[in-house]
Structure 1
Amino acid sequence: MSADSAGFAASDVLADDLQKVLVDVTALSLASKQLHWNIVGTGFRSLHLYLDDVVAIAREASDEVAERMRAIQAVPDGRADVVAQTATLPAIPEGVVSTAEGIDHAVAAITAVVATMRDVHEKVDAEDATSGDILIGYIGRLEQQAWFIRSLADRG
């Protein structure tokens, strides 16, 4: 942790941890939109709308994390090749996806992003509580979306 006339500056570790979150939330936005466009079957509309909610949260998170990185003098990298090479989300299948499969893929993608956030949170929070708070907020919102989407499969 350092401070100079420009204010607080992130360590390399903090910048790297926030970069991990940035690429995962960016990938989540893309994966969720891919599913959104290509799901078919019973329960289509509900899943379609939930996926739009996930996209909105992921886009908001990517912007907030990237802007936080700049505020603490780190450089975010959201280029497509960087996201493709470093994101931790499982692959989304090409083509049409049934709603049942879409539910599984959406929950797996959200779970991967939340796992990244939880994995880095303690270190992030120890160095910069403001960045830690950002992660906590998105963990809660994404876990809620995973619950909503998972509930679509509970037809019992």
Structure 2
Amino acid sequence: MATEENGVSDRSFLLGKKTDLIEAKRTNVTVGERDLIIIHHQGTFYAMDQHCYHAGGSLLNGDIEEFDSKLCIVCPKHKYKISLEEGEGLYKASNPREKNPQPRWYSKGIKQRVHKVTEVDGNIFVTLSEVPGWIESDYYQTEKGREELKKAQDSDTADGSKC
């Protein structure tokens, strides 16, 4: 059982000074063996797995937009929408069974693992998620997933493109 003091547990990792992370706006870090993105947006810090659950695209340069009253990061690779707060995948569709189908937002459920961010005395800490079970972004934290990311990166470098 993790012990906790000031919102920081013995499973928390120091990321840095609050002022530095605010200035950076986005930072990618490796904590334990997990690759994370730390985002400061509109006065709030968010942390999630760095690679999109869908195809492993880096979320570092994704736009942040609001969909269905939820603040989301949009994966630059395939435009998947992921809520910053919960890691929920969102998509817009219409139900063809309705008489006058109108597009609306639907949830795919939790797809991206999010992590807790805490501030103590001007320092920012992240506590890795302990949510049990498999979340799709976990794949890119495995050896097989990392190999796939490396192959894709090597392929992009070889053909001169950046994706």
TM-score exceeds 0.5: no
- Structure of higher RCO (CA pairs closer than 8 Å, 6+ residues apart): 1
Scaled by the length of structure 2, the TM-score of the pair is 0.28
Q: Which structure carries more helix by proportion?
A: 1
Q: Which structure carries more strand by proportion?
A: 2
Scaled by the length of structure 1, the TM-score of the pair is 0.29
